[in-house]
A = this chain, B = another copy of it.
C-alpha cells in the first residue's frame, strides 16, 4: 500500500533538491497559466452571445469590446508584475491587502481567492469533460466519474510537485499555443480561406439597438477571459530563483500571448461574420474557416479539450501557497503550512481536491451550473489587489508613483464594475452561493485566528515560563496475569520509579470463577517481583473504571506524579490485533484528558 503510494508520489525530497520541483517561465505557462489561456475558448463566444441578442449587425462590436478587454488585461498584467515585485512571498491580492489595509479586507481577498480556486478546478474539469462528452455522447452518463478521475490524476501530479506537473503538461500547452497562433496567422494572411464559413443567421429578430447596458453586459461577459491572470502572482514561491524575475517574465509572456489570441480571434470573427451557433463553438468555427476540417483541426480540437481540463491545475498552483500563508498568519490550521516529504503543501492540495470534488458531484459535472458562480471571486480579488496597489504607491512613493496609481485606480474601477455586473446579473442563477460562502470563510478565518491568540496566551508564548518542577512518581501497572508480558512491564516501571504498584480487576460476575482473586494473589506471591499487587473487585462488567477510580482516589490523597503503564501484546501481523483484549484502548480513552497522569503503552512483540 505504502510503497504503491510512494512510487506514485516519488521519494522524499531534500530542501536543496526542491528546485527540481520549481518551475521556469515556460513551465509556468503550462502549470499556472492554462486557466487564463484557455479562456480564449469561451471569452469571445461569451461576448458574441450577448451581442447576438441585438441582432447580426451588433456582432461587429466584438472588435472594440475585445480591444477594451485587452487594455484591461494590460492593466492587470502591469499590476500583477508590481505585485510580484512587492510581495515575492506569493499570495497575490491577499499579500497586497495584508500590507496595505487594516482589518478584515485581507480576509475578504483570501476568501474570494479560495472560492475562485475551487470553482476554477470544478469549471475547468467540467468544461473539458463536457467537450469530450459532446464528441462522444456515449460518455455523457459517465461525466461525474470521468471528472473525478481527472481530478485524481491532477491531484497526484501536484502531490509529486509542480515541476513534474508542469513538464507533464508542457506538450499539450505548446501544441495549444502554437496551433492557435498558427490558426490566427493563417487566417490573417489568407483572408480568402473563409470559404467554408456559414454566415451567422440570428434565430430571433434582433433588437437592432445596442444600449449601454448591453454593451456593459457584453464587456463583463468577455472579462471571463481574464480569469487566471492572477495565478502567477499568487504562486511566486513555486518558481526557481530568482523567483520574482521569472514570475514577472511568465506574467508578461502570458499577457502577450493572451492579448494576441484574443485580438486575433476577434478580428477573424468580425471579418468572417462568425456568430454564436448552438451546435458549434465560435473558436471551432474560426479554426475550421482558417485551416479547414482536416487532421490539424481535429488535433487542435482535441488539444483544446485536454488543456481545458488541465487548466484546473492553475488553482493547484495558487491555493496551497495561499493556504500556507494564511496558516502562518494563524488564519487557517497550521497544518496547511507544513510541507510534506516532497516539500509540497499537501494539506492544501488535498483540501482543494475534496472541495472541488464535492462541488463536481453536487452539480453533477455540469459546467452550466457553475458558470454563474465563477469570475465573481477573481474579479473581487482583482479589485482588491489594484486598490491595495494604489495605497502601496501612495505609501512608498517611488518614481512615477502617480502614474502607476492612476493606472491601478482605473483598473480597480473597471474590475469593480465588472464584478458588480456579474453579481447582479447572475445573483438568482447561483451567484448568491458565493455571497454566502465568502462571509462564512471570513468568519472561519477570524475564529481560527482568535483561537490561536488565546492558545498562545495560555501557553505563555509571550513570556518566559517558570522552572519545571519535579515530583515523586508512582507507576501503576494494570495486569491480568503473571506472564512474561507482566515481567516486561514491571521491569519498565521499575526503571522509571522505585514506587510501583500492579493492579488487577476481578469482576464478581456469575461466570468468573470466584477464586480468581485468590489464585492471582497466590501466583503473585510465589513470583515475588518486589512490587505489590492490588486486586480491585467490581460488580460491573467494565474493567477500566475500577482502575480509573483507583487512580483518582490516589491522586486525591497524594501529590505525586502518576504514570500508568499498560502492557500490550504487539502481534506480528496487524490482523491478529483483533484477537487481543484492548484494555489499553478502553483505559487510554477513560484516562484521556487527565493532564496529571502520563499514560503509556508498554508493547511486547510476539516472536
Contact = CB atoms under 8 A, between A and B. Distances in A.
B482 A464 contact: yes
Interface residues on A, range: 35 or more
Contact of A527 (B461, B465, B582, B606): B465
A484 B467 contact: no
Contacts of A490: 468
Given A565-B598, A581-B335, A460 B483 contact: yes
Contact of A496 (B448, B482, B496, B581): B496
Contacts of A459: 483-485, 569, 604, 606
A526 B467 CA distance: 11
A492 B561 contact: yes
Contact of A578 (B333, B486, B496, B541): B333
A450 to B, nearest CB: 11
Contacts of A593: 570, 603, 605
A451 B579 contact: yes
Interface in A480-515: 481-488, 490-497, 507-511
Given A470-B491, A473-B496, A541-B343, A581 B338 contact: yes
A458 interface: yes
A200 interface: no
Contacts of A343: 509, 541
A15 interface: yes
Given A470-B491, A541-B343, A561-B492, A482 B465 contact: yes
A595 B606 contact: no
A540 B471 contact: no
Contact of A497 (B16, B496, B580): B496
A14 B509 CA distance: 8
Nearest to A603: B595
Contacts of A334: 579-581
A576 B452 CA distance: 10
A148 interface: no
Interface in A420-454: 448, 451-452, 454
Given A340-B541, A581-B335, A468 B454 contact: no
A599 interface: yes
A406 interface: no
Copies of this chain per assembly: 2
A199 interface: no
Contacts of A547: none
Nearest to A570: B593
Nearest to A490: B468
Interface in A575-607: 576, 578-582, 592-595, 598-607
A600 B603 contact: no
A559 to B, nearest CB: 11
Nearest to A465: B487
B483 A465 contact: yes
A211 interface: no
A531 B465 CA distance: 14
B468 A491 contact: yes
Nearest to A561: B495
A471 B484 contact: no
Given A451-B579, A465-B482, A468-B491, A341 B602 contact: no
Given A15-B541, A541-B340, A487 B507 contact: no
A112 B530 CA distance: 50
Contacts of A209: none
A530 B15 contact: no
A452 B579 contact: yes
A473 B495 contact: yes
Given A448-B579, A595-B605, A600-B600, A12 B491 contact: no
Interface string A358-377: 00000000000000000000
A568 to B, nearest CB: 10
* 5 tightest A-B CB contacts, nearest first: A600-B600, A468-B491, A14-B539, A465-B487, A468-B490
15 contacts: A12-B542, A14-B539, A15-B540, A334-B581, A455-B606, A458-B606, A459-B483, A459-B485, A459-B606, A468-B494, A565-B598, A570-B593, A595-B604, A598-B600, A598-B601
Given A12-B541, A458-B606, A595-B602, 4 more contacts: A342-B541, A455-B606, A461-B481, A496-B561
